[in-house]
């Protein structure tokens, strides 16, 4: 089975720009969650998508938005990038609702100059 893949692995942007990060979920998984891990912190929940609908959101401003596609892959979009957005962005998929372990990708390292 194919695991969770994220692209790109690294990205450098400047303040005010926009970025799109991509995630392919594990085969058979219809739920995708996105997390931000800043240096020295644990991952922080951004939002979750279930069957193409947003299904929960953490404490992130509206300039963080997402999409899930019919094949359950997902995008995270961040507008008006700020220096504090520099972080590792992790995508995790799971096989539906209920308390399931999440399967993580390797992450995208985003640096804002």
Site of interaction with other proteins (CB under 8 A): 3-4, 31, 33, 35, 40-45, 47-48, 50, 55-58, 90, 92, 94, 97, 99-107
**Residue among 70 and 98 whose Cβ is closer to other proteins:** 98
**Residue among 19 and 93 whose Cβ is closer to other proteins:** 93
- In angstroms, give the least distance from the CB of 94 to other proteins: 8
Q: What angle do CA 55, 59, 60 make, to 5 degrees?
A: 90
**Residue among 74 and 81 whose Cβ is closer to other proteins:** 74
Query: Which residues lie closer than 8 Å to 20 by C-beta, 6 or more apart?
Result: 75, 76, 77
Rounded-to-integer distance, Cα 64 and Cα 24, Å = 19
- In angstroms, give the least distance from the CB of 67 to other proteins: 16
- In angstroms, give the least distance from the CB of 113 to other proteins: 24
**Residue among 81 and 92 whose Cβ is closer to other proteins:** 92
Count Cβ atoms within 10 A of the Cβ of residue 40 and give its class: 0-12 exposed, 13-18 middle, 19 or more buried. exposed
- In angstroms, give the least distance from the CB of 90 to other proteins: 7
Q: Is cis: bond before 44, omega within 30 of 0?
A: no
Of 75, 74, 110, give the one whose Cα is nearest residue 94: 74
């Amino acid at each position: 089975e194919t695991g969770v893949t994220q692209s790109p692995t690294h990205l450098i942007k400047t303040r005010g720009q926009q970025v799109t990060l991509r995630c392919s979920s594990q085969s058979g998984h219809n739920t995708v969650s996105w997390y931000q891990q800043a240096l020295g912190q644990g991952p922080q929940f951004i939002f979750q998508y279930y069957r193409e609908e947003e299904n929960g959101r953490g404490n992130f401003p509206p300039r963080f938005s997402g999409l899930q596609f019919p094949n359950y892959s997902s995008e995270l979009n961040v507008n008006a990038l700020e220096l504090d957005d520099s972080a590792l962005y992790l995508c995790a998929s799971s096989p539906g609702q209920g308390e399931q372990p999440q399967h993580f990708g390797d992450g995208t390292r985003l640096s804002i100059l």
